[in-house]
């Protein structure tokens, strides 16, 4: 792990090209890191191999470069870390914090109440003691949550609290198809990279309690979190591949960066003809407290 005081990161999933919404997260995390004389890492979150494409990963990196968002060190690739995820899962199983679950999605939906991120898992398999490796009937692995509030202070959104047992339930850390779930992968990757600060979209704020719970179970430190509002289309839908968000155009980098700074309510940068000059000015004027506290902005 790096001993630098501030280590931030941008972690896109290569399911499509970067769009304005993803640029906002990249830019905010970049500016926050540089304004604090920190490192800024890039990680390709391709752990869900059913949705990701290596071609998009290359395109994302090329776009970041064209927009002047240069990173420190080597790009991290999640799919190269499977052995590490397996090692952590084994430790959690040994500690009694992870168990096997053979419930189907329909079975969960039929017996659960609605939560913040789908049905609240009712703990059906928590005491069944199913084998964690079962070739006859594939099982998911779930993290057993505690019946206590997870509290944290978001640097922008303020005090946050979540009862995982009531709002999420025991959540999946390895899927039935054998793929490591996002919540575990991101916690392990951030720890191994020495990440101290996470700046990302507010669409992920509801995942934070799960990640903090995993960090606590593994003895990892908790990050400083800052969740910026996500950009939405006129229908109020988050900009994404699914909502047909337009890909960024590298030739329009300066204009698009100015729009992103305006969205983040940052001081207008000085006139410049270069991306490098614009970003240097934006770093010098960075005011995270000025970002709108709403979770979504159209």
User: What tens digit of pLDDT does each residue of 228-268 get?
Assistant: 999 887 656 666 666 557 889 999 999 999 999 999 999 98
Residue 251 in 3-state DSSP?
helix
| pLDDT mean over 121-130 | 93
Residue 98 · residue 141 · CB < 8 Å: yes
pLDDT tier, 2 (very low <50, low <70, confident <90, very high otherwise): very low
Residue 160 lies in a domain: no
Question: What is the rounded average pLDDT for all residues in the chain?
Answer: 92
Using alpha carbons, list the distances in angstroms from residue 154 to 68, 126, 200, 224.
28, 31, 11, 7
Q: Of the candidates 91, 184, 174, which has an alpha carbon nearest to the alpha carbon of residue 139?
A: 174
Residue 68 lies in a domain: yes
Residue 199 · residue 32 · CB < 8 Å: yes
Residue 131 · residue 109 · CB < 8 Å: no
pLDDT tier, 110 (very low <50, low <70, confident <90, very high otherwise): confident
Residue 286 lies in a domain: yes
pLDDT tier, 107 (very low <50, low <70, confident <90, very high otherwise): confident
Q: Above pLDDT 90, what percent of the chain?
A: 78
Provide φ and ψ at 94, rounded to 5°. -60, -35
Task: Note the pLDDT tens digit of each residue in 186-208.
Answer: 999 999 999 999 999 999 999 99
> What is the DSSP secondary structure assignment for residue 179, as one 8-state letter?
P
- CB-based burial of residue 154 (10 Å sphere; 0-12 exposed, 13-18 middle, 19+ buried)? middle
Q: Of the candidates 105, 102, 108, which has an alpha carbon nearest to the alpha carbon of residue 133?
A: 102
pLDDT of residue 289: 96
- Write the CB contacts of 159 (distance below 8 Å, at least 6 apart in sequence): 151, 152, 153
pLDDT of residue 238: 66
Residue 157 · residue 199 · CB < 8 Å: no
Q: Is the CA virtual torsion 89, 94, 95, 99 positive or negative?
A: positive
pLDDT of residue 3: 46
How many Cα neighbours within 13 Å face the side chain of 92?
28
Residue 27 lies in a domain: yes
Q: Of the candidates 216, 114, 209, which has an alpha carbon nearest to the alpha carbon of residue 161?
A: 209
Residue with more model confidence, 154 or 106: 154
Residue 32 in 3-state DSSP?
helix
Chain centre to alpha carbon of residue 224:
13
Using the predicted structure, report yes or no on whether residue 182 has a pLDDT greater than 60: yes
Residue 140 lies in a domain: no
CATH number of residue 279's parent domain: 3.40.50.620
Using the predicted structure, report yes or no on whether residue 129 has a pLDDT greater than 80: yes
Residue 17 lies in a domain: yes
Indicate the number of domains in the chain.
Answer: 1
pLDDT of residue 133: 81
Residue 131 lies in a domain: no
Task: Note the pLDDT tens digit of each residue in 54-88.
Answer: 899 999 999 999 999 999 999 999 999 999 999 99
Q: How far apart are CA 164 and CA 170, in angstroms?
A: 8
Using the predicted structure, report yes or no on whether residue 91 has a pLDDT greater than 60: yes
pLDDT tier, 1 (very low <50, low <70, confident <90, very high otherwise): very low
Residue 40 · residue 8 · CB < 8 Å: yes
Using the predicted structure, report yes or no on whether residue 296 has a pLDDT greater than 90: no
Using the predicted structure, report yes or no on whether residue 44 has a pLDDT greater than 90: yes
Residue 187 tokens, joined: 């916690």
Residue 74 tokens, joined: 């080597």
| pLDDT mean over 21-26 | 95
How many Cα neighbours within 13 Å face the side chain of 65?
7
Using the predicted structure, report yes or no on whether residue 11 has a pLDDT greater than 70: yes
Show the domain range for 229: 7-81+196-201+224-297
pLDDT tier, 123 (very low <50, low <70, confident <90, very high otherwise): very high
Using the predicted structure, report yes or no on whether residue 273 has a pLDDT greater than 60: yes
Residue with more model confidence, 38 or 50: 38
Residue 164 lies in a domain: no
pLDDT of residue 5: 87
pLDDT of residue 215: 98
Q: How far apart are CA 222 and CA 220, in angstroms?
A: 7
């Amino acid at each position: 792990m790096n001993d630098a005081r501030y280590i931030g990161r941008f972690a896109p999933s290569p399911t499509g090209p970067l769009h304005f919404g993803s640029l906002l997260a990249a830019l905010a995390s970049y500016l926050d890191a540089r304004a604090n004389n920190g490192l800024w890492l890039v990680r390709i979150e391709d752990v869900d191999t059913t949705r990701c494409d290596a071609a998009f990963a290359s395109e994302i990196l090329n776009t970041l470069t064209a927009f002047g968002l240069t990173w420190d060190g080597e790009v991290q690739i999640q799919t190269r870390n499977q052995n590490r995820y397996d090692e952590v899962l084994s430790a959690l199983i040994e500690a009694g914090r992870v168990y096997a679950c053979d419930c189907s999605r329909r079975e969960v939906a039929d017996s659960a109440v609605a939560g913040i991120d789908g049905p609240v898992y009712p703990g059906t398999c928590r005491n069944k003691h199913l084998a964690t490796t079962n070739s006859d009937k594939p099982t998911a692995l779930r993290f057993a949550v505690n019946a206590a509030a997870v509290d944290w202070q978001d640097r922008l959104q303020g005090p946050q609290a979540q009862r995982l047992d009531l709002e999420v339930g025991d959540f999946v850390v390895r899927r039935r198809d054998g793929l490591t779930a996002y919540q575990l992968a991101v916690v392990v990757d951030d720890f191994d990279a020495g990440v101290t600060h996470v700046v990302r979209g507010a669409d992920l704020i509801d995942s934070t309690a799960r990640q903090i719970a995993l960090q606590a179970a593994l003895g990892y430190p908790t990050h400083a979190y800052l969740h910026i509002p996500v950009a939405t289309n006129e229908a109020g839908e988050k900009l994404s591949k699914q909502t047909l968000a337009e890909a960024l155009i590298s030739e329009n980098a300066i204009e698009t960066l100015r729009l992103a700074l305006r969205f983040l309510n940052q001081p207008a940068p000085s006139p410049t003809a270069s991306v490098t000059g614009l970003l240097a000015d934006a770093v010098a004027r960075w005011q995270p407290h000025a970002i709108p506290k709403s979770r979504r902005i159209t």
